[in-house]
Amino acid sequence: MKRKKSVSIIGILAFAGAALFAVSAPQSAQATDVPAVSTTDYGDVGITQVVAHGDDNLSLLSCDFTSLPSTDSFDTIVGGVDEGGYPQNGSFDCDPRNGASTDGDITSPDGTVYGTYSNTAVSPTETDLVAINNGRVKWSTSLNYDENCSGDPAHTIGTAYVPTSLSVGSDGNLYMAVREGKYNSLCDNYMLAVNAESGAIIKWTELGFYHSDYMGVAPAVYTYSDKIIAVDPDGKVHQYGYGLDYTEDTDAQYTFPGTEPAGQVFADAAGDVFLLSPGTIYFHGADGINSSISRYDAGDQNFVVGPNGQLVGYYSSGTIYNYHMDQTTPSVTSLSLTLPDGYTKATTYYSNPYLIEDTSGNVVETVQMTQTSTGYPAVGVFYIDASDDPATTLYLKTGDGTSTDSPVAGQADIYSEYMYLPVSFGISSGEENVDSRVEKINVADAGFGTPIRTVRGFSPNSNVTELNYVAMGDSYSSGEGNPTFQQGSDVEASGSIGEDRCHRSNTSYPEEVAADSSLGLNLTDFVACSGADTAQVIGGGSGTGSWNEPAQINSLTDKTKIVTVTIGGNDAAFQSYMTGCFLDNDCGPDSVTYDAEMSLIDDSSFTTNLESAYTAILTGAPNAQVYVADYPYIASSTDTVCDGFDFSGVYSIETELNTKIEDAVDDIRAANSNLHFVETNYSGSPFTGTTLCTSGTSDFNGFGYHVDNGGTGAINTYSFHPNADGQAAYASIFEAAIAAGEE
């Protein structure tokens, strides 16, 4: 499935404590607080990081795994982990200053958070890669490898692979560098490719054996539109192509000089690679330039990638250094930081400042501070231009000395003219007293331009307009009958965990539609659910068709631009009718089963329920084009007997059902042209000639017994649903309709 073209922030959610990416500060006293343009309050969720997207949405990472509500200014998605390391609903004991316990997180623009977590709930402890979307675990994959760690008898079965980098490639897969054995320096290192939709591991590629005689670089992997760059523990740079074999371009290999230990590797959007040792910064340019320069105090400096072959290092003491490496003789320039009179930099462990630099070298910095006269904590955001002019205060919040009004900043992001800064209050007074907010701060008026991003395969803040897409409906839309199903939608009831059989398939038509790059869709929510009827679309519920999930319309906002839906079959009890055809072999036009089914469809309440559902969808997504499809024919007009069973009434039942759906769409469309009817049975449709009774290849799952959840003697829930070919046919029909329709 296509998740915007982005590799959003390679955000390390290991802090959130003191602020934002850092920069400079004012020259004169700032006795009066400077407010944000607007503030959104999210209560006690302990927001640690914000990622801003080009579709005007934000993703929020939090210590509390609660799905936050939508607001007028943006939508939010939150991820977190419990004490055992697994994401789950509910809060846990987590310090918003440090964020969740994780080795690295990235957030894609559709709000999917990919993170690596130590799962202590199993023995031995394992490292898991987890995908979280819209407050739900999409999938989790163990990164453990049941093999002895070479050279270390202490690490036997269950050796953990600890990620040292994580990014998204231009092919949509996840790529990471992993080190075998968390506490061992004598283990192999790998580049790991993972399917971002299912969590399946695609490929392990060995990056070399970590040994104390080597330079000791923490392995790193960076993705680009046309290549993957990996740096191994020996300081060697490798380039790989995409594809199942990941063929290495051996001519592009480069080994950094020197033998001193080095721990950090950075790469910019051009493919330049920076390697840091305690005393030296080494540079390998994509254009062939190799250089090195002495590094300032290694113990008190952090780095971000700057523009045009620069590496930007900043001291907590205040100086920002730009190392200009893309030249034969590197140079260094600096910007100074002077806090406003009456404030000093905080000395707490969560107080490191963070900066965001634009493509012209201007900087916005967030600093955790202390007001000297009172000792009260404060958070400031400052702008300093590349010419080192006195800084401008963009935001200043000073606490009042109480534990519940002590501001602590998290990691912010900038999109367009605004910075979105998470600030938590009361984190030292207990989780129940935490109050988290997102401050919207204007940075453009001060002169800040386009922020630098380490953009390789995807662009988190792309200016390309993409349409937020929500897929709703019943089993025909969820992809019932086509495992594997997305995590959380195929769950047996256990203890306090409720059963969920929504069966959202990874090969469903919504996933295929979203993957069509020509449409420019961003699948923000996939909420279609097997068994759903119109009432559950509107109101949710706990039984079949909702499975304790909220109402499907809750996924809609005024930023939703495209909606697809199939609904009505369960209102008409169509699956029960088909079951009667099979079990009773009596569903023809003269049967009781047929008459009962036709009565349901022709009852005025059936049309009323359809129209109510369509109206609710249009109300929930007032700016969306809504595409309602009918149901493809399981039986043709000539399919009266199928595998010996009476199918003589199936075609007329389906025809009546589809007619009522089309009529209901027409009724609502007369007042709202955003609603569209999508016919699946037209002449030349990809479903033509693929009925269940065809002598050729059918697009539907046939008869079978219920084996997927322990039942016996009933029709398999997979039966009478489009198979993988049928879902592909549905996708092509929806894609054509969306391409031809209004945006």
Statement to judge: residues 148 and 222 lie in one domain:
yes
Which carries the bigger pLDDT value, residue 699 or residue 244? 699
Whether residue 68 is predicted with pLDDT greater than 80 in this model: the reply is no
Greatest extent of the chain over all pairs of C-alpha atoms, in Å? 91
- Among 50-59, 200-209, 524-533, 667-676, top mean pLDDT goes to 667-676
Whether residue 357 is predicted with pLDDT greater than 90 in this model: the reply is no
Enclosing domain of residue 53? 38-442
Asked if 70 and 78 touch (Cβ cutoff 8 Å), the reply is: no
Q: 28 lies in a domain? A: no
H or E stretch including 627?
A: strand 625-629
Q: Looking at the 3D structure of the chain, how many domains does it have? A: 2
Q: What is the share, in percent, of the chain residues with pLDDT greater than 70?
A: 69
Q: Which residues contact 211 (CB under 8 A, 6 or more apart)?
A: 185, 186, 233
* pLDDT tens-place string over residues 534-578: 999 998 766 666 677 888 998 898 888 999 999 999 999 888 888
Statement to judge: residues 497 and 613 lie in one domain:
yes
Statement to judge: residues 430 and 487 lie in one domain:
no
Q: 108 lies in a domain? A: yes
Q: Rounded to an integer, what distance in angstroms lies between the CA atom of residue 677 and that of residue 680?
A: 10
* pLDDT tens-place string over residues 253-293: 898 887 666 667 888 877 888 888 878 889 999 888 999 99
At 714, the pLDDT band (50, 70, 90 cuts) reads: very low
Asked if 358 and 449 touch (Cβ cutoff 8 Å), the reply is: yes
Q: What are phi and psi of 655, to 5 degrees?
A: -65, -45
Statement to judge: residues 581 and 725 lie in one domain:
yes
End-to-end CA, the chain: 20
Task: Answer with the one of 409, 442, 475 that is the final residue of a domain.
Answer: 442
Statement to judge: residues 47 and 180 lie in one domain:
yes
Asked if 682 and 672 touch (Cβ cutoff 8 Å), the reply is: no
Statement to judge: residues 113 and 150 lie in one domain:
yes
Statement to judge: residues 498 and 383 lie in one domain:
no
**E strand intervals along 338-416:** 343-345, 354-357, 363-371, 377-384, 392-398, 408-409, 413-415
Q: Which residues contact 711 (CB under 8 A, 6 or more apart)?
A: none
Range with the poorest average pLDDT among 95-104, 468-477, 614-623: 95-104
Q: 17 lies in a domain? A: no
Q: 539 lies in a domain? A: yes
Q: Which residues contact 387 (CB under 8 A, 6 or more apart)?
A: none
User: In the beta sheet, which residues pair with residue 364?
Assistant: 356, 383
Which carries the bigger pLDDT value, residue 711 or residue 121? 121
Q: 497 lies in a domain? A: yes
Q: 58 lies in a domain? A: yes
At 400, the pLDDT band (50, 70, 90 cuts) reads: confident
The pLDDT value recorded for residue 300 is 53
Statement to judge: residues 421 and 487 lie in one domain:
no
Burial label, 610 (beta-carbon count in 10 A; 0-12, 13-18, 19+):
buried
Statement to judge: residues 552 and 412 lie in one domain:
no
At 7, the pLDDT band (50, 70, 90 cuts) reads: very low
The 3-state DSSP class for residue 182 equals coil
* Rounded-to-5 percentages of helix, strand, coil across the chain: 15, 30, 55
Asked if 114 and 126 touch (Cβ cutoff 8 Å), the reply is: no
Q: 461 lies in a domain? A: no
CATH number, domain containing residue 286: 2.130.10
Q: Rounded to an integer, what distance in angstroms lies between the CA atom of residue 615 and that of residue 678?
A: 17
The pLDDT value recorded for residue 108 is 59
Statement to judge: residues 721 and 637 lie in one domain:
yes
Tell me the pTM.
0.57
Average pLDDT over residues 216-231: 80
Which carries the bigger pLDDT value, residue 321 or residue 685? 685
Q: Within a 13 Å sphere around the CA of 78, how many CA atoms are in the beta-carbon half?
A: 27
Task: Answer with the one of 425, 442, 459 that is the final residue of a domain.
Answer: 442
Residue-averaged pLDDT of the chain: 74
Q: 20 lies in a domain? A: no
The pLDDT value recorded for residue 107 is 57
Range with the poorest average pLDDT among 117-131, 138-152, 372-386, 668-682: 138-152
Range with the poorest average pLDDT among 17-21, 44-48, 68-72, 486-490: 17-21
DSSP class of residue 134?
A: T
Task: Answer with the one of 442, 475, 499 that is the final residue of a domain.
Answer: 442
CATH number, domain containing residue 489: 3.40.50.1110
Average pLDDT over residues 394-406: 84
